[in-house]
Amino acid sequence: MKKIIAAALTLLCLTCAAVSVVSAEDIYYVRGDANGDGVVNVNDVTAVQRYAAELEGLNETCRRAADVNRSNVVDMDDATAIQRYSAEYKDSYRIGKTSYYDPYELPVVPNH
């Protein structure tokens, strides 16, 4: 009986792990692409600065793309990191790389 329960628990764990890794609904974006045009450049720095200054909003995908340091807040640290990437400085946040998120994850908290 213990072997059956152990096997059932193992199967349940494997099923849960598979479900949490694979999602057909994942939304892809380019990390650092705050304005959503598919490339990362100085225009994204401006988009982050304008968002931080509460001059314009960003949708959920753009907020995730803009939050390059994964602090869950889009602020001037992100703008600086994107600016450094645009100037071809060394990048430790994988800016310019494709990333994705599950739309059912908790959202990046809007600044305003």
Q: Catalog residues that contact Ca ion under the rule CB under 5 A.
A: 33, 35, 37, 44, 67, 69, 71, 78
In whole angstroms, give the CA distance from residue 14 to residue 8.
Answer: 10
Q: How far is the CB of 108 from Ca ion (least distance, A)?
A: 8
Residue number with CB closer to Ca ion (17 or 39): 39
CB nearer Ca ion, residue 23 or residue 111 = 111
Q: How far is the CB of 89 from Ca ion (least distance, A)?
A: 17
Q: Would you say 15 or 72 has its CB closer to Ca ion?
A: 72
Q: What is the DSSP string of 81-97?
A: HHHHHHTT---SS-TTS
CB 101 within 8 Å of CB 70 = no
Given the structure tokens 């849960």, which residue do they identify?
16
As measured in angstroms, the least distance from the Cβ of 14 to Ca ion is 34
Does residue 45 come out as left (phi exceeding 0), alpha (psi in the -120 to 50 range) or beta?
A: alpha
Closer to Ca ion by CB, 35 or 49: give it: 35
